[in-house]
């Protein structure tokens, strides 16, 4: 399997498993990631996902052998776009665990996630211009949202990467850890998220994601809709009850 799926309690770990090819995205990886996201979204017992890459590279991006042979369409899925992920509509939080270079489409996979945990061995960049390509899987507009525009422009037009320390300084990374520790740190972060009411988390995520493109009027409507939805859940009653009874809440996700 070129994409592995492992459940750890309430957390699903999705691993790109082509280390011999630097976890480059081919057709099997794209379809495998899409299938893994399907499993994550469908399983009511799993509340958060973590995306990582096996070996020393998170992902080198598109498989250039496939690109050179004219099979670039294989690297996308109908619902997810490149890598089965970058255009995927989903509801659950997805954390990137990056413990090595994430370049080209690898950076674009990271940018498609909600949170990033990376080690000091990580690097990020969109070197497509060095191959007479463009970063067409979201990097050219998601990077300026995640980094200062001047830094994003530098990455886009020079094709040169930045290291993890600089990425963390500019806010691309949520947690910076030692080499080899990214996955466990990401799972720990996922665990902290799963301590919260899952429907409230998903509704909150929805509004934050929309804030990147919607106007304030629409965001007020989305916020009111989220509150109206969460009030109807069983967990809405459990939260105050647990607080009054001085005990940890027992969320059901209903």
- Is residue 172 within 8 Å of 117, Cβ to Cβ? no
Q: What is the sign of the dihedral through the CA atoms of 44, 47, 52 and 54?
A: negative
Helix (H) or strand (E) holding 49: strand 48-53
Structure tokens at 57: 């590279």
C-alpha angle with apex 43: 37 to 44, nearest 5 degrees? 130
Dist CA 13 CA 103 (whole Å) = 21
* Active-site residue (options: 34, 41, 74, 108): 108
Dist CA 113 CA 223 (whole Å) = 21
Residue matched to tokens 């996308």: 76
* Active-site residue (options: 6, 128, 160, 195): 128
Task: Give Cβ neighbours of residue 76 (< 8 Å, ≥ 6 apart).
Answer: 30, 82, 83, 84
Q: Please confirm, yes or no, whether 108 is among the known catalytic residues.
A: yes
Structure tokens at 85: 């992920």
Residue matched to tokens 């320390």: 165
Q: How many CB atoms lie within 10 A of CB 230?
A: 18
Dist CA 230 CA 234 (whole Å) = 9
Q: Please confirm, yes or no, whether 234 is among the known catalytic residues.
A: no
Q: Which residues are catalytic?
A: 108, 128
């Amino acid at each position: 399997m070129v994409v592995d799926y492992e459940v750890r309690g309430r957390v699903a770990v999705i691993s790109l498993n082509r280390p011999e090819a630097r976890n480059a995205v081919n057709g099997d990886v794209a379809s495998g990631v899409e299938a893994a996201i399907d499993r994550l979204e469908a399983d009511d017992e799993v509340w958060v996902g973590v995306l990582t890459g096996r070996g020393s590279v998170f992902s080198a991006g598109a498989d250039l052998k496939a690109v050179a042979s004219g099979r670039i369409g294989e690297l996308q899925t109908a619902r997810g776009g490149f890598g089965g992920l970058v255009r995927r509509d989903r509801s659950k939080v997805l954390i990137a665990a990056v413990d090595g270079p994430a370049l080209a489409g690898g950076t674009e996979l990271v940018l498609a996630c909600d949170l990033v945990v990376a080690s000091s061995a990580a690097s990020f960049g969109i070197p497509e211009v060095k191959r007479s390509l463009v970063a067409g899987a979201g990097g050219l507009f998601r990077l300026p949202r995640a980094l200062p525009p001047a830094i994003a422009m530098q990455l886009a037009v020079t094709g040169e990467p930045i290291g993890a320390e600089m990425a963390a300084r500019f806010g691309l990374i949520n947690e910076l850890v030692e080499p080899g520790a990214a996955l466990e740190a990401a799972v720990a972060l996922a665990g902290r998220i799963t301590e919260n009411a899952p429907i409230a988390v998903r509704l909150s995520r929805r509004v934050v994601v929309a804030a990147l493109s919607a106007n304030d009027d629409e965001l007020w409507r989305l916020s009111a809709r989220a509150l109206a939805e969460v009030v109807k859940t069983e967990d809405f009653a459990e939260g105050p009850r647990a607080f009054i009874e001085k005990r940890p809440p027992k969320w059901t996700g209903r």
